[in-house]
Amino acid sequence: MAIYSRASLVAFIFLAMAGTESLAQFHGSLAPDNSFNLGGSHRIAGNNNENLQASLGLGGNTNGGPVTGDWNVDYNRGLNSAGIFGSHTAPGPQNTVGARGNLNLFNGQKDRLDVSAFGSQSTNNIKQFGTGLHFNGHSASVTKTNQPGVASQTRFDGSANLFKSSTNQFGANAFKSQTKWADGPSVGSHGAGLNWNHARGHGASVAFERTPALKQTNLSATGRANIWQSRDRQTSLDAFGSASRTWVGPMRGKTNYNAGFGLSHRF
């Protein structure tokens, strides 16, 4: 309980400081299972073209259990950016720290091409590295995760922008991963999904994931809706929900549901 109180105090101080600037944002959500998320972002210095921005987040459950805090600091200049990030889970403790960056290679009237990369390491010796290419709303990336003596994983992700207008956007995504256990077999998974987003904050997605070695297929769906927005569009209230079900496999029929509300305010 003391850890939770200290983390909440840090979040409160950060958000209070963020409220002193015009470009800051606070958001929070609470689900029926008493899980919560709080967060805020703050422009420390600069302008729209070049700036330094920081954010802080806190998540856990009011019934008890681990509480995770995360932070990041990013320097942005035009379409390029570089930053550091980290997280801390208590009790544990488990710490993660890393760096990331984005480099714009080309930006024309209609076309834009970027390359991104990141790397991180955790206290339990989990190392992760990744890189990706992004072109006009489409992307392809590869991520390598390794924990010596335990397992290593290689994952490929791709996404495509199928349709985009001033109010609606439809997209598709897919992934394929391969996990090699140090003292066990190699297990692969693959999946794909569709998503829709609206300019007013509404959105929905459906996806499936297949693990052939376990003969298991999972289906999932998520949705969110903007319930209320202030006249100046600085404050908004949203509802969200998700459901997942094991359609085929040893855990066939297992279903999970989650729903809640989120509040955000831009200072």
Burial class (CB in 10 A: 0-12, 13-18, 19+), 14: buried
In whole angstroms, how far apart are CA 98 and each of 117, 121, 128, 238? 11, 6, 9, 31
Fill in the amino acid letter for 177: S
List, in sequence order, every residue forming a beta bridge with 242; answer none if it has no partner. Answer: 222, 258
The pLDDT score that the predictor gives to residue 23 is 52
Q: What is the DSSP string of 174-223?
A: EEEEEEEETTS-EEEEEEEEEEEEETTS-EEEEEEEEEGGGTEEEEEEEE
The pLDDT score that the predictor gives to residue 124 is 85
In whole angstroms, how far apart are CA 15 and each of 10, 72, 74, 107, 139? 9, 14, 17, 35, 33
| pLDDT one digit per residue (tens) for the chain, 267 residues | 333 333 333 333 333 333 334 456 777 777 777 888 889 999 999 999 999 999 999 999 888 889 999 999 999 999 999 999 999 998 877 899 999 999 999 999 889 999 999 999 998 899 999 999 999 999 999 999 999 999 999 999 999 999 999 999 999 999 999 999 998 889 999 999 999 999 998 999 999 999 999 999 999 999 999 999 998 888 999 999 999 999 998 888 899 988 888 888 877
pLDDT per residue over 9-43, tens digit each?
333 333 333 333 445 677 777 777 788 888 999 99
Where in the chain does DSSP place strands (E)?
24-30, 35-46, 50-61, 67-77, 80-90, 94-107, 112-122, 127-135, 138-147, 151-164, 168-181, 186-198, 203-211, 216-229, 235-248, 255-266
DSSP state of 18: H
Just give the CATH number of 72-265.
Answer: 2.40.160.10
Q: Residue 104 has which token pair?
A: 């714009």
According to DSSP H, which parts of the chain are helical?
A: 2-18
Q: How many Å apart are CA 83 and CA 103, to the nearest integer?
A: 12
**Tokens 């990030």 belong to residue:** 85
The pLDDT score that the predictor gives to residue 35 is 86
Rounded to 5°, angle at Cα 113 from 178 and 96? 45
Q: How many C-beta atoms lie closer than 10 Å to residue 160's C-beta? A: 14
Nearest-Å Rg of the Cα atoms of the chain is 20
Q: How many CA atoms lie within 13 A of 203 on its CB side?
A: 13
DSSP state of 255: E
DSSP state of 150: T
Q: How many C-beta atoms lie closer than 10 Å to residue 240's C-beta? A: 16
The pLDDT score that the predictor gives to residue 94 is 86
The residue ranges of every structural domain in the chain are: 72-265
Picking from 244, 247, 266, 265, the residue whose alpha carbon sits closest to that of residue 255 is: 244
